[in-house]
Amino acid sequence: MALVAGVDSSTSGCKVQCHDADSGEVVASGFAPHPPTTPPRSEQDPAAWWTAFMAAADEADLFGANRPAAISIAGQQHGLVALDDAGEVLRPAKLWNDTESAPDAVALTEALSGGAAAWAAASGSALVAATTITKLRWLRRCERPTFDRLGAVLLPHDWLTSQLTGRATTDRGDASGTGWWSPTEERYRTDLLALVDADRDWPTLLPDVLAPTETAGTWGPNGAVVGPGTGDNMAAALSLGLRPGDLAISLGTSGTAFGVSEEAVVDPGGVVSGFADASGRHLPLVCTMNATKVTNAVARLLGVDPAELDRLALAADPGADGLVLVPHLDGERTPNRPGATGSLTGIRSNITREQLARAAVEGVVCNLLEGAEHLAPWLDRGGSDRVLMTGGGARSAAFRQVLADLSGRPVVVPDERELVARGAAIGAAAALSGVNPAVVAERWPLTTSVTTPGSGDHRAIREAYRSRADERGEPCI
């Protein structure tokens, strides 16, 4: 039995799963945490990622009985890993949720003729603080001596893959979130990097972009094949086996809404990120920065654990008796308000714990569904009306029911919790067999459960949220 390993190197930690290459059955797994981090400055030392990977791999016995024939890494998107000419890390990596580069997003947008629409056409996405190129400009602006020592620029999954193979590579999915690779043209746009610094020889600093069926190299004494890897959202989409028309909602620390498209995605309005995926297709995606961190904060405030918060939220009436929580606690990406804070309105003297819990869940779901509406031009071309829910929030009965109610569609939840690691393992199996990852995904069965919408008209909840969010006062950037 050939084994393959998938790695999910996320903001919070590293998960390693070992699967049977043919059936997809999970054989073993391991986990190790990453150092906690909080915006506006959100950074991690890449060495901590490697330490966590080695610990998680050891727990999964990858160095013993479960030595894989292939391995692939999925990582948190957008992070900037700056290396010198010798390949040494120059400083802690700035992560996707670091908002210190918000002024750089504005400056770069203004530097390109046509602004946000031109950036979307050139790189697939309008610029926000999360986009890697804004962090590169921040580095030049705020730490010029470090910027001048740059010998290579990698993403988190690129760096981890390079530790396995000794080679600097990336994939089209993760590269499409940098702001300097075009999903439409399938190539680097060094003219965009010239807006950061016109004097650098950018092609020498960038990794090779691998196709979905290419390999990055080998790892370990048994020569395990190393797949190209990808970003975490691309791995999750691959694991779900998305069909055209499907809407996927992921609720973790952040929230994402995404689907698949056969055509390259360009949103002139800049809300939808037009990523490439890990199988050769495209991945229109909307991201919010505030998801389960909001309900975790409310649980902490109420002095309860997540399970009790779930019970409280389900005990309240839909709409929380007019209580509305706008969940922009640590700035927000969609809408693009990096300096925003949250708000709670509609408070009365008879407020209850149940209402506050319900308002937190509804606020997170409403915020993400507002963003998801922008995906309609691409998802409406498919024939599916499925909503697939993933992430830690999918374990919450309250989140599942509220999403079904407010979307008006059945919510399908995979039993498999580690979809990103599973997607990475699918990529490893594809690299081992030489077939497209989407074909492997079809061969690996995924069991699910379904939550159906409750009775009643829930449109008023969406309308109340939209009204309060629009009253916030901070303009979108």
Over residues 373-408, the pLDDT tens digits come to 999 988 866 567 789 999 889 999 999 999 999 999
Q: Is 3-228 a domain of CATH 3.30.420.40?
A: yes
Residues 6+ away with beta carbon under 8 Å from 259: 242, 244, 245, 246, 247, 248, 283, 284, 375, 378, 379, 382
Please say whether the beta carbons of 466 and 370 come within 8 A.
yes
Q: Which amino acid is at 62?
A: L
- Choice among 98, 104, 174, 232 that is catalytic: 232
Specify the pLDDT at position 170. Answer: 98
pLDDT at residue number 381 = 60
22 among known catalytic residues: no
Inter-residue contact 394 to 413 (CB < 8 Å): yes
User: In this structure, which amino acid lies at residue 367?
Assistant: N
pTM, full prediction? 0.85
Q: What is the per-residue pLDDT for 383?
A: 65
Select the CATH number that applies to the domain covering 233-414+447-477 from these four: 3.40.50.2300, 3.30.420.40, 3.20.20.140, 3.90.1170.50.
3.30.420.40
Which pLDDT does position 455 carry in this prediction? 85
Rg (CA), the chain: 21
The 8-class DSSP code of residue 382 comes to S
Domain boundaries in the chain? 3-228, 233-414+447-477
Alpha carbons 216 and 280: distance in angstroms, whole number: 17
Q: Give the mean pLDDT of the chain.
A: 94
The Cα diameter of the chain in Å comes to 67
At residue 417, the pLDDT reads: 86
Indicate the SS3 state at residue 7. strand
The residues of the chain scoring below 50 in pLDDT are: 473, 475-476
Pick from 270, 250, 204, 451: which is nearest to 365 by CA?
250
The DSSP string of 412-464 is EEES-S-HHHHHHHHHHHHHHHTS-HHHHHHHS---EEEE---SS--HHHHHH
Tokens of 231: 């970003």
Asked if domains 3-228 and 233-414+447-477 share a fold, the reply is yes
Q: Could you report the per-residue pLDDT of 17-61, keeping only the tens digit for each?
A: 999 999 999 999 999 999 999 889 999 999 999 999 999 999 999
**How many Å apart are CA 176 and CA 192, to the nearest integer?**
13
Annotate 321-352 with b (16+ C-beta within 10 A) or e (fewer).
Answer: bebbbbbbbbbbbbbbbbebebbbebeeeebe
Find how far residue 424's CA is from the centre of its chain.
14
Query: Closest Cα to residue 108, out of 121, 126, 82?
Result: 126
pLDDT score for 474: 54
Per-state percent for the chain, helix, strand, coil, to nearest 5: 40, 20, 40
